[in-house]
A and B are shown apart, each in its own frame.
Chain A
Amino acid sequence: MTHAIEVHDLTKIYPSSGQGLLAVDHINFTVEQGEVFGFLGPNGAGKSTTQRMLTTLLTPTEGQLLILGYDLADNAYPAKRQIGLVPEESNVYTELTAWDNLMFTGRLYRMSKTDRVVRAEELLKDFGLWEKKDVKAEEFSKGMKRRLSIAMAIIHKPALLFLDEPTPGLDVQSARTIQNLIRQLSSEGTTVFMTTHQIEEANQLCDRVAIINHGKIAAIDTPEKLKQTFQQVQSVEISFTVSFDDLEEKLATLPEVSTVLKIGDKWRLYTESPPALLPHLIKFTEKENLDIVSLNTLAPSLEDVFLQITGQQIGSVSEEPSSQKLGMKRKKGK
């Protein structure tokens, strides 16, 4: 079966003074048809550049791109007919109504009038926008614009959908609607290529993920296999009834602990071996006369793997709300 996406030695150097800016450096990967593929990476890693090349918006410096079997350098036209694109910023026409936005896109993809009308009605109802179909998009909230933007990208039932950061900044309802849509599209056979910062979202939605860093693919596998590869970032999460000033320092001195992270009222102790740490931790609580509220051992999260691969410290990115204060103590010598 033809791959949905085949990337060979893809390179992008942005022309600038000197030698230019290397954004993507000879990357190779394939995405299978029907797969939900996550493309993760820190800011400036090359995610959006790669996606823009895959959607013909940017000309590669080197390399070959095959979309649904069509070489974009030779014949992008049939590939373009079968792809849908949802950019990071919702690019709806705010002067047009939701209905007119969908009709315009349907015409652009050469859908018959009957198909356009039926599909637009179906999508507006699915996305909770039917009541607002005759309202100009300038009156829509961010979440509504996002939903409309996605509806416009899939009105022609693309075989391959590109999503750039689909949910950040959205209310829970809009984010949940979009996540359910991705699952539904996947179950119907649509290939989904999504770039995201939402690592937990990628963990829940993606069949496979690639992590790109400094323009190179650092890892590519299923989320679970990636987590197994990084057992050194297992952790024990514990909370006590009370806390005291130097508790963090004391936890950091325990044997087997590499890093201590305060997450709300809990302490996360990173370790290569939770079973080896637990006896020390129990002894510590007895010695300090601490009562345990909860105690859990945690396998590495995809976020932990991401941080390890991208060389960022644990604690610099978290799925916890940003307003939550995070404390971190790294053990000396580790």
Chain B
Amino acid sequence: MKNFWTRIIEELSQAWIVTLKDIKVYYLRPGMIMFGFLMPFFMFFSFSVKREMSAGDGMARLLALTIFFTAAAAGPFIIPTERRLGTYDRLLAAPMSLLTLLLGKIAVGAFFAIAVSSIAVIIGILFLDASIAQPILMIAGIFIGSFTFSTMGLIFGSIPTRNPGDVQMPSTLIRWVLLFISGVFVPLSEMSTVARGISYISPLTYSQDLMNHAVLGTGELALWLNLSVLFLSGVIFLLPSIKLHKRGRVLGY
């Protein structure tokens, strides 16, 4: 039992080492800044111009957008880049489990999203004069959403390819589709029954609703449902990533 816990601690520490290395190496790379930092802000401002919305409403949407886009940007950029440069082999050959490596990579995207979301919070408070109904829930929501959507991004990063371009296109396309069906730009309460039904398949719907609870103090769905779906989505998203990595080892990537 002691060996088991020692191994768990060692693996977690290695995941952290991978995360720290990636933060140093990738956070300031143009691809990360473009897809992870600038894009959610551009999208928010382009959809917000001349639209009537309260400061709190705007902040809840900006938070949901940044968490979603930023967290999901890391995996599709970092892993294919590392495969192309051969540095991913160094990690795969190192004495750690595949799950440890993937956890390290998930944390890279999640921490990036947490950092960018913090900027969104500061903008919301200082420039939009927004107030936050439940600050602790907001922090929890940012954390859980960031990890969930970083895990989603990891699925695309796990596709066996050495060319980041092969992954960026489908990952961006799917993120855009999710964005439009998830109650970010059209609130759930204003959606038709069919559209609302479709929106429930997107985890972003629950993240947006969670942010509505946290910032506005009200949401369409139960809080426990939002938290549970986000948590379960994060766990479920890991499975295709593991499977794709194993497929990559068969194909030679």
Contact = CB atoms under 8 A, between A and B. Distances in A.
A232 interface: no
B92 A15 contact: no
B93 A80 contact: yes
Contacts of A78: 95
Interface residues of A, number: 31
Contacts of B24: 95-96, 100
Interface in A73-97: 77-78, 80-81, 83, 85, 87, 89-93, 95-96
B250 A91 contact: no
A109 B251 CA distance: 27
Contacts of B85: 89, 91
B158 to A, nearest CB: 15
A107 B14 CA distance: 8
A105 B25 CA distance: 14
Interface stretch (A32-40, A54-62, A169-177): A54-62
Given A14-B251, A58-B252, A59-B246, A83 B93 contact: yes
B228 interface: no
Nearest to B94: A108
Contacts of A85: 89-90, 93
Contacts of B96: 108
For the residues of B in contact with A, the DSSP-based class is helix
A57 B86 contact: no
B232 interface: no
Nearest to A110: B10
Contacts of A110: 10, 14, 95
B133 to A, nearest CB: 41
A58 B97 CA distance: 15
Contacts of B246: 59
Contacts of A14: 251-252
Which size class do B's interface residues fall under?
A: 20 to 34
A189 B87 CA distance: 27
Given A55-B93, A56-B92, A49 B86 contact: no
A240 interface: no
Given A49-B252, A59-B246, A96-B24, A87 B95 contact: no
B249 interface: yes
Contacts of B10: 110
A192 to B, nearest CB: 16
Given A59-B246, A96-B24, A107-B17, A91 B251 contact: no
B21 A93 contact: yes
A21 to B, nearest CB: 10
Contact of B92 (A57, A90, A95): A57
Nearest to A152: B90
A56 B92 CA distance: 8
Nearest to A89: B86
A134 B85 CA distance: 22
30 contacts: A14-B251, A15-B250, A49-B252, A55-B93, A57-B89, A57-B93, A58-B250, A59-B250, A78-B95, A80-B93, A80-B95, A81-B95, A83-B93, A85-B93, A87-B86, A91-B85, A91-B86, A91-B87, A91-B90, A92-B87, A93-B21, A96-B24, A96-B25, A100-B24, A104-B17, A108-B14, A108-B17, A108-B18, A108-B96, A152-B90
Given A107-B14, A108-B94, A110-B10, 9 more contacts: A15-B250, A77-B97, A89-B85, A91-B90, A96-B24, A96-B25, A100-B24, A108-B90, A110-B14
Interface of B: 10, 14, 17-18, 21, 24-25, 85-87, 89-97, 246, 249-252
Nearest first, the 4 closest Cβ-Cβ pairs linking A and B are A91-B86, A80-B95, A81-B95, A59-B249
